[in-house]
Chain A
Amino acid sequence: MRDRLGWAVLAAAAAAVPLLTSNTYYLYVAISIGLLTIVTAGLNVLVGLTGQTSLGHAGLYAFGAYTAALCVTRAGMGEWAAIALAIAVTSVVGAAVAAAALRVSGPYLAMVTIAFGLIVEGVLIEWGSVTGGPGGIFNIPKPALRSHYWTVMLAAALALWLTANLRRSTWGRAFLAVKSSEVAAESLGLSSYYVRIIAFTVSAAFAGAAGALFTFLNGYISPDSFTLQTSIVFMLALLFGGLGRIAGPLAGSLALTILPELLTSLLDYRLILYGTLLLVSIYWLPEGVIGALSRGRPRPSPHPALSPKERGRILDPLPHRGREQGEGAAATGGALLTTSGVSLSFGGISALADVSLTVDRRSIHAVIGPNGAGKTSFLNVLSGFYAPAAGEISLDGRSTVGRPPYALARAGIARTFQTAQVFGGLSTWENVAVGVAGPRLGSILGALAGMPRARIREAAIQARGHALLEALGLAEAAAEPAEALAAGLRRTLEIARALATDPLLLMLDEPAAGLSPTEIVALDEQLTGLREHGGPAVILVEHHMDLVMAVSDRITVLDYGRVIADGTPEAVRRDPAVIEAYLGAAP
């Protein structure tokens, strides 16, 4: 409620500016704030949500500006058509840059984007016949300042609204999931590469729009406006305002536009000013001005209630693409997963040697062994994180070797991790929602605009997510930030998230580690409950023998990467090789 009031006051203030003053200077400053808001709102999607740093957005901004200018001056297009084309061109360029640059991430990406920005700047200066060289492009027909003011203000409001929608959509959660744990996101079927490319493209489109609007502000553009320093100011405005906060771009843009205007006498010290401001933001304002002003983490509000007609469509199933469910059953009989001769070594040390086993449908198959026996490595091979040196693995009759983790997740393999990897920055229900949606994120445009289709999808996801939380006893913690959960609940959340992908095979890596006795009993009940209700097959890697013996249908024992026993719990318990491996007693 307070938030809404704040936005209303801001809107009123924006509307009041042209009524109160006819001074073009103020309008000009206000328009600059609006433009910076649009760019940083887009940048926020990339940096705030996806966690990737770009210092080349001035290059994308330039693409928008020059495309619009050329459309108008050379092709004689109208303003709106030019803006639309500028956004399209910049999006395509952004996608292309991202496809190359996002092969790497983090610091690499930052440096590659700097290089991109410098190349663009260089081309603008050198390619005089098209870009006008260092002088730029003049005499661009421009609208009256006052009407342009309204255009930019509406566009800035639109930009913030779009990013707010995006944050609470399947895409927004996917972005944050990839930022928080790439590995866990891939285990749910998300390709982090693809997700990041989309984030970059969205931010490029925003920069393109702002660039085009910039063109129509002055009526001329030159390379001076698109330097590395411009990119740094974009980042700075975002950091200062509040990374990942919806209102952050606006706050940062206000500060970063008004401050230099007040300090024009200090022009020579501008870099020092920016550098200091950057350091100050990083040191003392990790969540920016907005974060410092509003205590507590932001919780995305659920979507508004659906109309009865929309509610009727909630039960539309979310079909799994690319998964031929059940068709393998006839071919493989009761076996869901078979491995034969799987080997893996790390720098000459053999981690797995000739591991062959068969996991039946709807069974609980425990994999046990002393520490360092290769159990977790085996799970990593099965889920595609490690490529086996030799051997064959097939799921449902299809080979899985050589397919990336996200493809295997889509094929029906879900897993948890030895150290629980919940998505920080997302609440408990949102963690599960990432699993429910998996790779089926819907249209990014629908997510931005909050279209009815996206809302229906969202309602279906939320309904299923809450049902899962309910079933696993996490309903009370649904709105809690996931990273604040106690260790036991985190593990349960991971299981709920993995189950949310509707897997054929669920792999649990030491789910009982660190749980209290009562929690272990609950886990026992959940696992047997899954089997009784026709749930997925389970591979259970565990040290807690009481649990293993109680729930398992079959047990495989690994030692030094080799299978030393395989059979029913009873048979394994009596196996002399197993007793020797565990107790070291040679009879």
Chain B
Amino acid sequence: MYGLVALGYHITWSTSRTMNFSQGHAVMAGAVVAYAVFVALGWPFPLALLVTLAALACFGALVERVAVRPFFLRASPAWLLATIAVGIIAENVAQLTFGKDARAFPSPLMQKPIMVGSAGFYAQELLVPVAGLLLMGLVQLFYHRTPYGKQLKAVAWNPEAAGLMGINIPRAVMASYALSAVLAGVAGVLLAPLLNVSPQMGTIIGLKAFAVAIIGGLTSAPGIVVAGLGYGLVESFTAGYISTRAREIVGFGLVILVLVARPWGLLGEKPSRRV
């Protein structure tokens, strides 16, 4: 679900006012790593999932360390391009190790479609939004109920004051990047059986997730969840009633509409200008 990936943008944006422009590549990495350990090496699924998520946390931390930390607090687009650089490097590495072709990812939930009337769907397709919502709930709990989540929120509100209170800001930002990459990795594992696994799968997912984040409002987790569901519905309706090809055009058209009417997103906070 795009909402899950989009939530990753929200998490890093709200702690550090930066985000990982290769979030889509993290999704790809999740799918590729899961494929490698689960399908290629034949490890049991729970173990494979664990390894994948650990790998993704490392990937997120790496992105932060290499591409964001040197430029954090410097008002320059450098982090933006640096995260893209890391993303394209990751894509190329995946191409070299995995190959350019897409591969199918087997899932027990994709064996036989469940029929409702004349429309059929796979259990996997149901699992994606359910797991997505569940994880979003967990993230919210983490933010509002645990001391560590509250620390991250404090950093988001005022990094300087949070730093003076003894919060280790670089670590908090790194943690937010790791968390954001883990979410993307989960999305990658969930989506792999539906989309097939390929090194090129990341870019478009990352973009759609960003579209969702813009529509919902980067500063609003609930907005992103709602927008994620809405975007998914609009996409499948467009694909069903117009054509699969119109899907992206309608989706990005929506983004432009939202930008023109409410640049800060449907549920986002209107940024107040600092004068």
Contacts and interface: CB of A to CB of B under 8 A. Distances in A.
Given A183-B273, A278-B81, A122 B248 contact: yes
B21 interface: yes
Contacts of B21: 107, 110-111
A431 interface: no
B88 A271 contact: yes
Nearest to A102: B259
Contact of A104 (B81, B93, B263): B263
10 contacts: A101-B256, A103-B263, A106-B77, A108-B214, A110-B80, A111-B214, A115-B207, A268-B95, A270-B92, A275-B89
A376 B273 CA distance: 14
Contacts of B91: 271
A209 interface: no
A417 B275 contact: yes
A239 interface: yes
The range of chain B's interface size is 35 or more
A282 interface: yes
A385 B77 contact: no
Nearest to A277: B85
Contact of A232 (B77, B84, B211): B84
Interface in A99-132: 100-101, 103-104, 106-108, 110-112, 114-116, 118-119, 122-123, 126
B255 interface: yes
Interface of B: 18-19, 21, 66-67, 70-71, 77-78, 80-82, 84-89, 91-93, 95-96, 203-204, 207, 210-211, 214, 245, 248-249, 252, 255-256, 259-260, 263, 273-275
Instruction: Tell which of A126, A271, A283 has the most Cβ of chain B within 10 Å.
Output: A271
A104 B261 CA distance: 11
A272 interface: yes
A510 to B, nearest CB: 13
A279 interface: yes
A122 B203 contact: no
For the complex, would chain B's binding face be called helix, strand, loop or mixed by DSSP majority? helix
A274 B259 contact: no
Interface string A286-298: 1000000000000
Contacts of B82: 278-279, 282
Nearest to A52: B77
A278 B263 CA distance: 30
A269 interface: yes
Instruction: Tell which of B71, B89, B91 has the most Cβ of chain A within 10 Å.
Output: B89
Interface in A78-118: 100-101, 103-104, 106-108, 110-112, 114-116, 118
Interface string A3-21: 0000000000000000000
Contacts of A376: 275
Nearest to A274: B88
A140 interface: no
Across the A-B interface, the 7 shortest Cβ-Cβ residue pairs: A271-B92, A275-B89, A278-B85, A275-B85, A272-B92, A271-B88, A275-B88
A123 B18 CA distance: 31
A228 interface: yes
Interface string A168-203: 000000000000000100000000000000000000
Contact of A282 (B81, B252, B256, B274): B81
Nearest to B253: A119
Contact of A276 (B19, B85, B256): B85
